[in-house]
């Protein structure tokens, strides 16, 4: 309560009342301030509880980058990280590596490090290899141009050194006969346990369906797959339509058998059937 002073002539009483009011404990008239303080305290407690409930197993930026690099490295059985693209290499070392792989009929995927600085710098640390190009086979670093060149000079060439099947060679059939298209397609669909025929590469899909199926596969724990870019080989593109009686792309194969396209793979993933398929095969 505040003392009521009648009139304005009694200056002495007015002064005494003001002094008394100033010296009065804050608890008696600080209801609003008390409420605000209580609210602030409650809010702080809620924030602290929320922080305690926040998952501690979220990936750090470094872990996210390493996971991205791992997915890229294993996206093709033979994977080349280079400057530019196979059609337009941006440095002499990358161009010479492409020429060696093409000469030995080695199927490979590629990633342009000039398009992503985080991948470019991250790979140097991830694989402890400071220069480019970098060539990987089944997720393992082979090295750069000099090492690839030395391996190409060994008996059996790169195909034997990498232990991969060559494609598109004139002498690829049995008994030295020219390899037929069906023989080539049979080798391609069996090139990896999980084999994806798509438009573009996992690192650079050229259509929405191909991008979505790559995202599905990349999001599955423990699933490794290889890919083939049908845009670079019209014979394979048209041949697969008849070979598997499936007119569209992407096409996914497991152990050489056609699974289907994006819709089927998405449905199987949602039902848990895709994991069962891999475990059973």
Question: Are 60-162 and 177-281 equal in CATH topology?
Answer: yes
CA atoms within 13 A on the CB side of 125: 10
- Three-state SS for 89? strand
In the chain, what is the straight-line distance between the N-terminal and C-terminal CA atoms, in Å?
Answer: 85
280 vs 73, higher pLDDT:
73
pLDDT of residue 275: 81
pLDDT confidence tier of residue 45, bands split at 50, 70 and 90: low
pLDDT confidence tier of residue 178, bands split at 50, 70 and 90: low
> What are the residue boundaries of the structural domains of the chain, listed by start?
60-162, 177-281
What percent of the chain has pLDDT above 90?
A: 34
**pTM for this predicted structure:** 0.50
Beta pairing class for 226-229 and 257-260: unpaired
- Three-state SS for 230? helix
Name the CA dihedral angle for 163, 167, 169, 174, rounded to a multiple of 10 degrees: 70
Lowest mean pLDDT across 70-79, 165-174, 188-197: 165-174
pLDDT confidence tier of residue 3, bands split at 50, 70 and 90: low
CATH class of 60-162: alpha beta
* Cα–Cα distance for residue pair 67/54, rounded to 1 Å: 22
Name the CA dihedral angle for 28, 29, 33, 37, rounded to a multiple of 10 degrees: 10
pLDDT of residue 212: 95
Contacts of 196 (CB under 8 A, 6+ apart): 202, 213, 214, 217, 225, 226, 227, 228, 250, 251, 252, 253
**Which residue stretches of the chain are H helix?**
11-23, 31-53, 61-73, 92-103, 117-126, 145-152, 157-162, 181-189, 208-218, 234-243, 262-271, 273-280
For residues 116-124, average pLDDT: 93
Which range, 48-52, 99-103, 252-256, has the best average confidence (pLDDT)?
A: 252-256
pLDDT of residue 192: 84
pLDDT of residue 16: 67
Decide if 143 contacts 97 (C-beta within 8 A): no
What's the CATH fold of domain 177-281?
Glutaredoxin (3.40.30)
Instruction: Name the burial class of residue 168, with classes exposed (0-12), middle (13-18) and buried (19+) by CB atoms within 10 angstroms of its CB.
Output: middle
Beta pairing class for 134-137 and 78-82: antiparallel
pLDDT confidence tier of residue 125, bands split at 50, 70 and 90: very high
Residue range 205-218, pLDDT digits in tens: 899 999 999 999 88
Decide if 68 contacts 120 (C-beta within 8 A): no
pLDDT of residue 34: 46
Average pLDDT, rounded, for the chain: 80
- Three-state SS for 167? coil
pLDDT of residue 256: 92
For residues 166-173, average pLDDT: 49
pLDDT confidence tier of residue 87, bands split at 50, 70 and 90: confident
What are the structure tokens assigned to 214, written together? 């790559």
pLDDT of residue 122: 95
21 vs 35, higher pLDDT:
21
What are the structure tokens assigned to 141, written together? 């670093």
For residues 233-259, average pLDDT: 93
**Cα separations (Å) of 248 from 63, 131, 238, 240?**
36, 39, 10, 9
pLDDT of residue 193: 86
Residue 133: asked if its preceding bond is cis (omega within 30°), the reply is yes
pLDDT of residue 253: 95
Beta pairing class for 194-198 and 226-229: parallel
* Cα–Cα distance for residue pair 157/102, rounded to 1 Å: 12
């Amino acid at each position: 309560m505040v003392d009521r002073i009648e009139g304005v002539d009694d200056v002495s009483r007015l002064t005494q009342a003001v002094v008394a009011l100033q010296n009065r404990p804050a608890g008696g008239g600080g209801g609003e301030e008390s409420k605000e303080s209580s609210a602030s305290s409650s809010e702080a407690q809620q924030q602290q509880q929320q922080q305690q409930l926040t998952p501690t197993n979220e990936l750090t930026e470094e872990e996210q980058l390493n996971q991205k690099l791992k997915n890229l490295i294993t996206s093709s059985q033979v994977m080349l990280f280079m400057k530019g693209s196979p059609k337009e290499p941006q440095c002499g070392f990358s161009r010479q590596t492409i020429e060696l792989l093409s000469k030995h009929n080695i199927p490979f995927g590629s990633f342009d490090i000039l398009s992503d600085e985080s991948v470019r710098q991250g790979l140097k640390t991830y694989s402890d290899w400071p220069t480019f190009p970098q060539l990987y086979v089944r997720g393992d670093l082979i090295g750069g141009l000099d090492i690839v060149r030395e391996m190409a000079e060994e008996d059996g060439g790169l195909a034997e050194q990498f232990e991969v099947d060559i494609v598109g060679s004139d002498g690829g059939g049995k008994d030295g006969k020219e390899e037929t298209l069906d023989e080539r397609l049979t080798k391609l669909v069996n090139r990896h346990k999980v084999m994806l025929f798509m438009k573009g590469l996992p690192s650079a899909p050229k259509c929405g369906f191909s991008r979505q199926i790559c995202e599905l596969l990349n999001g599955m724990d423990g699933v490794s797959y290889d890919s083939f870019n049908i845009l670079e080989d019209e014979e394979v593109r048209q041949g697969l339509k008849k070979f598997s009686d499936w007119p569209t792309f992407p096409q996914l194969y497991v152990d050489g058998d056609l699974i289907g396209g994006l819709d089927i793979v998405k449905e199987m993933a949602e039902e848990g059937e895709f994991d069962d398929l891999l475990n059973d095969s």
